[in-house]
Amino acid sequence: MDDPQLSAAAQRVWDAEKTTAAALAAQYRALADLHELDGAYEEAAEVDEVDPLRAALALRITKNAASWQLRDAHQAVHLFPRTLEMLETGSLPSAWFQKMLRTSRSLSDASRQNLDIAVSAWSMSIPAERFFRLLKALIDLLEHREDKPHPSSCIERSVALLPGHEPGTGVLQITGPIPEILSRWKKLDEAARAVQSAQRAALRDGTAIPHDADGVVLETGRALPLTRLRFALLDSAEIDLEGVQVPTERFRLNITVPVLTLLGASDEPGTLDGVTPLPPSMARSLAGSAEVWYRVLADSASGAFLPLPADKHVPTASMLEHLRMRNSLCAVPGCTRPTSWASECDHIEECRRGTPGTGALTEVENLHLLCWQHHLDKTNGLLDPTRLPTGAAEPGQTRWRIGSHGDAVTVLDEIDTASIHAAEDLALAWSCFLRGTHAGAAATPPVPAGEEPFRSAPPIAGGRTMSPSPSPSPSPSPSPSPSPSPS
């Protein structure tokens, strides 16, 4: 396999793979140079947040993805030096090397170094399927030789929130020892079956239907399926904290719905906490069942969330909500931690309490939300943001200096794209109305070159102004819009 007979097209693919392998080796070496802390990588990675941010900035990926690539690069350079040289020369394919890194993560550093020595002695003329088979056998052997704790003491116990397969859904994944998981499952399943039997009996006897808050059973005349009952019972279960007090939630759960979507005139999706998209039908349903609506003002042309006035040293609840609209994730570029929980409000330019006339004000333009780790990094001088001047109706910009090596990037605030689309839809509807109203009327004067009438959307408070129409015409009846309750 070192020198197979290939056609011209296949030879180009072969050469491209060797180039890819060399480039991957160069990337590993460059990434490994970003890691500056001494000691074992796993221990250093727990306290270091700046190196992943620098890597994320260079690779244009998220911090979490950059952390994995930094880990692979550190292992490639320090634990697999022999096979890395083979990758660099193109004799070891990139897919083989990445497979070796990925499947050996459970091994100790010493075992991975032994793996590197063994694989570097193999002939690279063997086919891919044999390489992967031998690799698996060798890793299994090295795992067996390691002195590991009894499996029962290291079984994972975790609960994780994962993205759902369908729009507007999520997955709650529970992992643990099978006896405990099976016991909880049986209790939940038996409870759901008991409720289902009670619903059928209530339908038959004409009595009150249990666990039918939405009236679905009464409307359809059928008991709820077990899958839905299990979810309902799990959702309504109380958590026993044994007297531990849970702090009041800092933020409400925001569901942002464009007004035209509410009216059924647009299919623009809603969003949950500015991150998770919601199908229009689900967004309308949730908005219809809500008791209180909050109006969010955004510039119709740029989509920027309009700033709120403030001159206090303590951010108000309204200011915090505005900041969460502006950044649904930690404001540090590359970080994917949501600001709806475990976030901290931070002054971009420090506020010096007790010294009137010095320091920055507590105003929206000088505030952002950070996760606790990056707030600590900023306090320690590892991160240095600077707010850049922009127009009143334009999205804000922040210049971030990351680390002490001159790495920096400018980040735009999040915008409300739905407002831009809504403004375009309204402008188009207004133009269509005027064309219908003026049909058969005298021709209007020609529009000067370079001007487009009726292309500007109606202004929103604090947004850009709109030039008046050149000729009067009957105003259309205003479209109904939801009246937000005072917050």
Q: Worst-scoring range by mean pLDDT, 114-118, 196-200, 224-228, 260-264?
A: 260-264
Contact 36, 51 (CB under 8 A): yes
Cα–Cα distance measured from residue 235 to residue 347, given in angstroms and rounded to the nearest whole number:
38
pLDDT tens, residue by residue, 395-416: 889 999 998 888 999 998 887 7
Three-state SS annotation for the chain: CCCCCCCHHHHHHHHHHHHHHHHHHHHHHHHHHHCCCCCCHHHHHHHCCHHHHHHHHHHCCCHHHHHHHHHHHHHHHHCCHHHHHHHHHCCCCHHHHHHHHHHCCCCCHHHHHHHHHHHHCCCCCCCHHHHHHHHHHHHHHHHHHCCCCCHHHCCCCEEEEEECCCCCCEEEEEECCHHHHHHHHHHHHHHHHHHHHHHHHHHHHCCCCCCCCCCHHHHHCCCCCHHHHHHHHHHHCCCCCCCCCCCCCCCCCCEECCHHHHCCCCCCCEEECCCEEECHHHHHHHHHHCCCCCCCCECCCCCEECCCCCCCCCCCHHHHHHHHHHCCECCCCCCCCECCCCEEEEECCCCCCCCCCCCCCCCHHHEEEEEHHHHHHHHCCCEEEEEECCCCCCCCEEEEEECCCCEEEEEECCECHHHHHHHHHHHHHHHHHHHHHCCCCCCCCCCCCCCCCCCCCCCCCCCCCCCCCCCCCCCCCCCCCCCCCCC
pLDDT tens, residue by residue, 102-112: 999 989 999 99
350 or 87: which leads in pLDDT: 87
pLDDT cut 70: percent of the chain above it: 74
* pLDDT (0 to 100) of residue 472: 43
Q: Worst-scoring range by mean pLDDT, 112-121, 358-367, 422-431, 465-474?
A: 465-474
Range with the largest mean pLDDT of 67-81, 323-337, 424-438? 67-81
Instruction: Give the count of beta carbons closer than 10 Å to the beta carbon of residue 386.
Output: 13
Please enumerate in sequence order all residues whose Cβ is within 8 A of that of 124, keeping only pairs 6 or more positions apart, or say none: 1, 2, 86, 91, 92
The closest of 255, 258, 296, 287 to 418, measured between CA atoms, is: 258
pLDDT tens, residue by residue, 81-108: 999 999 999 999 999 999 999 999 989 9
DSSP bridge partners of 72: none
Range with the largest mean pLDDT of 47-51, 144-148, 178-182, 435-439? 178-182
* pLDDT (0 to 100) of residue 115: 95
* pLDDT at residue 367 tops 80: yes
Q: Worst-scoring range by mean pLDDT, 95-99, 255-259, 381-385, 469-473?
A: 469-473
Q: Worst-scoring range by mean pLDDT, 146-155, 181-190, 255-264, 361-370?
A: 146-155
* Tokens encoding 211: 């666990």
Residue 315 pLDDT class (50, 70, 90 cuts): low
- What's the mean pLDDT in 165-169? 80
Average pLDDT, the chain: 79
* pLDDT (0 to 100) of residue 437: 63
- What's the mean pLDDT in 193-205? 93
Give the residue extent of every domain in the chain.
8-148, 159-236, 317-412
Say how many CA atoms lie within 13 Å of 418 toward its Cβ: 21
Residue 230 pLDDT class (50, 70, 90 cuts): very high
- What's the mean pLDDT in 447-467? 42
Q: Worst-scoring range by mean pLDDT, 98-107, 219-228, 426-435?
A: 426-435
* Tokens encoding 202: 């209530």
* pLDDT (0 to 100) of residue 132: 94
Using alpha carbons, list the distances in angstroms from residue 217 to 1, 87, 212, 228: 66, 63, 6, 12
* pLDDT (0 to 100) of residue 301: 54
Whole-prediction pTM: 0.57
pLDDT tens, residue by residue, 20-64: 999 999 999 999 998 766 555 555 555 567 888 999 999 999 988
